[in-house]
């Protein structure tokens, strides 16, 4: 159960969030919980979750270890700051703030794994692709170019998040059936490339306008192993209601 804060919260607001969230999640063992704050908040978040099971991750990395790449942060730097996860290829990085490609996604995933960070790779179709019935085609292409190049050992460390772009921040959640169909397709692609056991073990999260009042219906689908939540992860009570649906 993962929360992506995007570009919200200062270090002070991060500390306030965890004061409340830690008391709610105290002793929770039924799922992994990971939060992805802005990079500047990582030290505050890592300090706040010390002694809990809650994981902290970065929202993006650059694939080099270090160098003249103004504004970028490497996997090793996130790891040194106490992060253990990273989001890769979020649709806002693919389509809004920059134009990340599937080839970039693969390079970033390899860099994350090389440094010891666990990646959540985001995939999903845009509204016009959804309307044109091209969802499967898009997912197959994103898997082939962004994921299939991993080794079997690397793939075993990866989590995939299916996030239809038309559902992100729009209030228009995919129905459980639509989400399950996309997850089934991703698992099929994983099976073709990495084999049945790897496909079965793969954790696939759904993301896109997940809220406390729609998460239970989504999580009833066997295909959904968890969720990646944006807006509703900013409030500790709302995010914990979602976590409990695991």
Contact call for residue 208 and ligand PGA (CB under 6 A): yes
Smallest distance, ligand PGA to C-beta of residue 210, A = 5
List the catalytic residue out of 130, 163, 183, 189. 163
Contact call for residue 34 and ligand PGA (CB under 6 A): no
Contact call for residue 100 and ligand PGA (CB under 6 A): no
- The three-point CA angle 246-216-232 to 5° equals 80
Q: Which stretch binds ligand PGA (CB under 6 A): 8-16, 136-144, 147-155, 204-212?
A: 204-212
User: Which residues, numbered 149-188, are part of the site for ligand PGA (CB under 6 A)?
Assistant: 163, 168-169
Q: Which stretch binds ligand PGA (CB under 6 A): 51-59, 113-121, 140-148, 206-214?
A: 206-214
197 carries an active-site annotation: no
Q: Which stretch binds ligand PGA (CB under 6 A): 37-45, 66-74, 194-202, 230-238?
A: 230-238
- The pattern of x and - marking residues 209 through 228 that bind ligand PGA according to CB under 6 A reads xx-----------------x
Q: Which stretch binds ligand PGA (CB under 6 A): 10-18, 96-104, 126-134, 202-210?
A: 202-210
Nearest CB to ligand PGA, comparing residues 91 and 199? 91
Residue-wise DSSP of 168-227: TTTS-PPPHHHHHHHHHHHHHHHHHHH-HHHHHH-EEEEESS--TTTHHHHHTSTT--EE
Instruction: List Cβ<8 Å contacts ≥24 apart for 229-232.
Output: 229/1, 229/2, 229/3, 229/4, 230/3, 230/4, 230/5, 230/6, 230/168, 230/169, 231/169
Contact call for residue 4 and ligand PGA (CB under 6 A): yes
Is the sign of the CA dihedral 127, 133, 136, 140 positive or negative? negative
d(CA 209, CA 38): 20
Interhelix angle 42-49/11-25, rounded to 10 degrees, is 30
90 carries an active-site annotation: yes
List the catalytic residue out of 90, 92, 100, 125. 90
Q: Which residues bind ligand PGA (CB under 6 A)?
A: 4, 163, 168-169, 207-210, 228-232
Catalytic residues: 90, 163
């Amino acid at each position: 159960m993962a929360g992506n804060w995007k570009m919200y919260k200062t270090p002070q607001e991060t500390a306030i969030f965890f004061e409340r969230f830690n008391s709610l999640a105290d002793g929770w063992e039924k799922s992994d919980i990971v939060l992805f704050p802005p990079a500047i908040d990582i030290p505050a978040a890592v300090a706040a979750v010390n002694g809990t099971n809650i994981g902290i991750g970065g929202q993006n990395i650059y694939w080099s270890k270090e160098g003249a790449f103004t504004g970028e942060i490497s996997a090793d730097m996130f790891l040194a700051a106490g992060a253990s996860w990273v989001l890769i290829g979020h649709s806002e990085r693919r389509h809004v703030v920059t134009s990340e490609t599937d080839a970039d996604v693969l390079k970033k995933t390899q860099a994350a794994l090389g440094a010891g960070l666990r990646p959540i790779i985001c995939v999903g179709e845009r509204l016009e692709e959804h309307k044109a019935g091209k969802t499967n085609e898009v997912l197959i292409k994103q898997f082939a170019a962004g994921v299939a190049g991993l080794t079997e050992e690397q793939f075993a460390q990866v989590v995939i998040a299916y996030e239809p772009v038309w559902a992100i921040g729009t209030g228009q959640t995919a129905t459980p059936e639509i989400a399950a169909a996309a997850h089934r397709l991703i698992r099929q692609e994983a099976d073709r490339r990495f084999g049945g056991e790897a496909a079965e073990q793969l954790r696939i999260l759904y993301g896109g306008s997940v809220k406390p009042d729609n998460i239970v219906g989504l999580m009833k689908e066997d295909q959904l192993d968890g969720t990646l939540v944006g807006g509703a992860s900013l409030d500790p009570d709302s995010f914990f209601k979602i976590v409990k649906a695991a």
